[in-house]
Structure 1
């Protein structure tokens, strides 16, 4: 059965106990056992046993040097993700370039390398795996736990499950795939948006244009399948390769910077009206590449709406690293789903190397 295109960024109480504890610690950055218990609803005894297991496996580490003044016993000792023992491998395949990245278990990118690829060519995943192996060579002692593979699948006319199988065969690791725009949205949410309930709309514009939404239900947060805006109508007379005129991607490529900024802002306003989200985040270099045009975009966004209530808009903090970050974010999926199984698989991979 094909895996759902939805990316789960917060698993909540539906996940295993190790997954819940690891996710709470990752989200908080650093937390004591009693804080994890309070946030997750698990008993302090259950959290204590699970933390001991995760510490033994090297997934989290204790920080007694940062214990609260006056705290006694283990429950008051902070724990954090151990960012020095394991890593993930992220592969991002774009239209003209591919990116290979290594990330730690907090989602931070440790290193990355871009590889030029011919437009329209099949992705050479064997070559990208060799690049990953070379990057791993600069991090001796680190154990890879999982891999993520991200691409604009429809634009490249690729089947993600086929490529997932290929990466697994090349690396021996659990592999998770994600659509590029959905992965970007998941990265934004995972790194910045804790506690933001409801629906967050993410609009992405660079080589591809589209949107995805994060739906926070309180107990679980998912990023839905991405929707393309490539052929969104603009009423221009610019011809598009599809045979029509006025499609968004074809139109923005012909406009001066200020006009392009206004059009993208207007489109963001239109999509906001269709979905009525709680907040909007604009992502991708077409939105963020020129800081001098951000006010132009937000003004067009605010003016182009029929909603009575304004919906707040913000810009991503991720710039040119977003391809590496999104791939490493997707690679965290198997680890957060089942951290114990990933450690076992990583150990087997290392023994077989």
Structure 2
């Protein structure tokens, strides 16, 4: 089996694809999946170096998001609603490989109108942004929202969801090309470059001096954004891809009556599992209706280009969701004939 097997902590550039990795075996409540597409995530870059909070024992296979089919011959645990041949997507360790095992509770049925490439990047970004906007920030139609890193994986999803709700969306990114992506693909109403001096003044101009009702931040720009947040505004901390954990000026939080909240979607599995089904029910309804469509980076990487893809991700060259295609859709058709 082809796979990226990690035997020691290395930089992603040192990863090697092997073709003799042992095929995984499903036990307990696990199923075996033939992987058709996987998604690249920034934390993959950290995990392979030992800098991520999840540190599997060596050896392990890199990759955390996938779309594929329940494999022929896979065991079907009691209570599992899936059968061999079913199209699914989900999250599991070991997605940069031909096959993987995953707990059946961690997969979702892939809608018929989505490809494997589109499905591979759904499981982390979409519920993260949905819960951040609606479960935590309680964004409402007619409100304004500032989305940082708006051309990135979670950012572009936040732009799409907020726009569909009827919010005024201000997309923030660090280059004109990425701002164009936010408008062209995400449908953002306005854009600002957060690398420009006093960019907050542009946000205040757009909002007629009021400031934005909600700030969505996966980068680490909450402190800067407090200069253009509205009275009783809500700021959602998604992550720190900028590399620094912020120290916030709480006097501004006090004077503006600002609410600052976090969103760690992965914790819901243990802390609030009932919410997961609710979020996915709504997201799957949106996908089935055609109102929402995953936005993918315009280069689909092959399995032997994972290192190239991670390099592009690390250097902030990608936008939307960067995808690795393990097998083509037509291989699925041939297998079924």
TM-score by length of 2: 0.31
Between Structure 1 and Structure 2, the one with more helix by share is 1
TM-score by length of 1: 0.30
Name the structure, 1 or 2, with higher relative contact order (CA <8 Å, separation 6+).
Answer: 1
